[in-house]
Amino acid sequence: MPKVRRQNLPPALLDHLIDRIRSRNIAAEELGRFVDWLDSEPDVPARKWFKRLPGMTVCGEVDLVKTFLRPEQVPTGDEVR
């Protein structure tokens, strides 16, 4: 199973993620939880997936994080535990 890529992200994707953090008012505490989850080197499916955190949902596809959603938004893909 793939691992989440943390380096060499496409610049347009990185810009998109930063924009989502700002526009959805994602708190620093949530970003800390996200980093803690990344530090655990989780396996993710080789398809669309999502990870629910208390204050946001991380959505990805294969090894890339694609966006961040607010808790009330509905993700698609397989849930990662």
Q: Where are the domains of the chain?
A: 11-79
- 65 band by pLDDT with thresholds 50, 70 and 90: very high
What is the average pLDDT value for the chain, to the nearest integer?
A: 97
**Which own/partner pairs from 67-71 qualify as long-range (CB within 8 Å, at least 24 positions apart)?**
67/16, 67/17, 67/20, 68/17, 68/20, 68/21, 68/24, 68/26, 69/24, 70/24
- 42 band by pLDDT with thresholds 50, 70 and 90: very high
Tokens describing residue 51: 């990870």
Top-confidence residue, 15 or 1: 15
pTM: 0.93
pLDDT for residue 1: 86
| Alpha-carbon torsion angle 52, 33, 21, 59, nearest 10 | -30
Q: What are phi and psi of 25, to 5 degrees?
A: 50, 50
Q: Mean pLDDT throughout 55-65?
A: 98
